[in-house]
Amino acid sequence: MVSIWTESARMPHFPALEGNAKTEVLIIGGGITGILCAYFLQQKGVDYLLVEGRTICSGVTENTTAKITAQHCLIYDKLLQSIGMERAQMYLEANQYAVNTYFELCSGIDCDFEEKTACVYAMDDRKKLERETAALWKLGFPAKLIETTELPFPTAGAVSFGHQAQFHPLKFLSRIAENLTICEHTFVKELSAHTAVTEKGSIHFQKLIFATHFPIDNKHGMYFMKLYQHRSYVIALEHAPTLPAMYIDEAQNGLSFRSYQELLLIGGGSHRTGKTGGSWQELRSFATEHYPEAREKYAWATQDCMSLDGIPYIGRYSKRMPECFVATGFSKWGMTSAMAAAMILSDLVTGEENCYAPVFDPSRNMLKPQLFINLCESAAGLLSLSKKRCPHLGCALKWNAAEHSWDCSCHGSRFDAEGTLLNNPANGNLKTP
């Protein structure tokens, strides 16, 4: 199953790296984050090279719902309580700056870009919405509390953000990437100090950006402890009513909605990778009940890296790797997080200060409740009996009947029925006995 974006865009292709290379900044990962990092470094005149193990945008990026918004569910009331006014303001401004940058870049690109209102609805708790609206006004953002008459079920209302957007991500990235320095089919097998080893040579670099969704280095930063991965699903319906705004449930396992041309995109059915969840069946049951005349035209799934506190990790990889940088843990908000990350990292790698960097610091405090959940899941995965083990850190793999894949609940690696790697952090295929 492929997304509507994959079906309706033509991506540029780039040669594989043959032999050795040398660059000032090496970017590993050719999704939206890596491509935008390369774009901003090129604007700054920095010598860089982006390498991608497959083809650009062939991973998580092609399976997004492509909402461009600084409204990341009901996060701002929580941020005010957990990190205070100053850093909550940083988070909001960084993401709204990312939204505004899309407006600027997309003005010259045919990528079905549309200004939209973004709405987070609640099924039964209006007080949550009132607290979030009040928090946003404290932060200087004019959010509104509205009713949701366009949705096919009753809600307690929604918090709305004006001047947000949606687009076709691959049409946008095909134009952004076409003149960048990229090598496809260049898989990094091993990393050492200032050297990346590929299947056909080595790349010597001064600085490194990990844009690999889940970081591939296990030795530093403890990302295997402070990240977990989540699956979610999308169906695209024709002959269903289109919506004037973008909607998402404040509950983690709720539904999201947006329109694209004549199609209605419904997302949901989510669960921790390696666990069971509603999958496409939940979405199809919803569509049958609420849109009985509609017909499913596309269905796809995606995977998101979730941080301990809902804030991405963007900055230096770890204190012991000062010349390496990372962007991960976007927690389902990849479009604005990728843009914010690219702007922050392009500053940091060139020695410039970035006023938004402190709130995203990957070395911030890890003592959050989610850490202990992650550790328990890892322990359970390591102790579970299974003939198939993940090559990442040895956890048991479980069969995903909905997607016909072997999935790891510890860190989210996935493999197809033949053992070919689908999602990292594993850095290779399953070994056949």
Which CATH number belongs to the domain containing residue 9 in this structure?
Answer: 3.50.50.60
Is residue 186 assigned to a domain?
yes
**What per-residue confidence (pLDDT) applies to 408?**
94
Is residue 92 assigned to a domain?
no
**What per-residue confidence (pLDDT) applies to 428?**
87
Count of domains observed in the chain: 3
- Mapped to the 3 state alphabet, what secondary structure does the chain carry? CCCHHHHCCCCCCCCCCCCCEEEEEEEECCCHHHHHHHHHHHHCCCCEEEECCCCCCCCHHHHCCCEECCCCCCCHHHHHHHCHHHHHHHHHHHHHHHHHHHHHHHCCCCCCCEEEEEEEECCCCHHHHHHHHHHHHHCCCCCEEECCCCCCCCCCCEEEEEEEEECCHHHHHHHHHCCCCEECCCCEEEEECCEEEECCEEEEEEEEEECCCCCCCCCCCCHHHHEEEEEEEEEEEECCCCCCCEEEECCCCCCEEEEECCEEEEEEEEEECCCCCCHHHHHHHHHHHHCCCCEEEEEEEEEEEEECCCCCEEEEEECCEEEEEEEECCCCCHHHHHHHHHHHHHHHCCCCCCCCHHHHCCCCCCCCHHHHHHHHHHHHHHHCCCCCECCCCCCEEEEECCCCEEEECCCCCEEECCCCEEECCCCCCCCCC
Final residue of a domain: which of 281, 305, 329?
A: 305
**What per-residue confidence (pLDDT) applies to 433?**
53
Is residue 101 assigned to a domain?
no
199 and 322 inside one domain: yes
Q: How confident is the model at residue 418 (pLDDT cuts 50, 70, 90)?
A: very high
216 and 332 inside one domain: yes
Q: How confident is the model at residue 431 (pLDDT cuts 50, 70, 90)?
A: confident
**What per-residue confidence (pLDDT) applies to 228?**
96
**What per-residue confidence (pLDDT) applies to 427?**
87
Is residue 106 assigned to a domain?
no
199 and 338 inside one domain: yes
Is residue 96 assigned to a domain?
no
Is residue 262 assigned to a domain?
yes
272 and 330 inside one domain: no
Is residue 93 assigned to a domain?
no
56 and 187 inside one domain: yes
Residue 241 belongs to domain with CATH number:
3.30.9.10
Taking all residues of the chain, what is their mean pLDDT, rounded to a whole number?
Answer: 96
161 and 27 inside one domain: no
128 and 257 inside one domain: yes
Read off the pLDDT of each residue in 348-375 and give the average, rounded to a whole number.
96
Is residue 255 assigned to a domain?
yes
332 and 286 inside one domain: no
381 and 255 inside one domain: no
Residue 6 scores a pLDDT above 90: yes
300 and 323 inside one domain: no
Residue 36 scores a pLDDT above 60: yes
Can you give the residue range of the structural domain that contains 201? 4-64+171-225+310-360
Residue 152 scores a pLDDT above 80: yes
**What per-residue confidence (pLDDT) applies to 432?**
63
145 and 75 inside one domain: yes
Final residue of a domain: which of 283, 305, 327?
A: 305
77 and 36 inside one domain: no
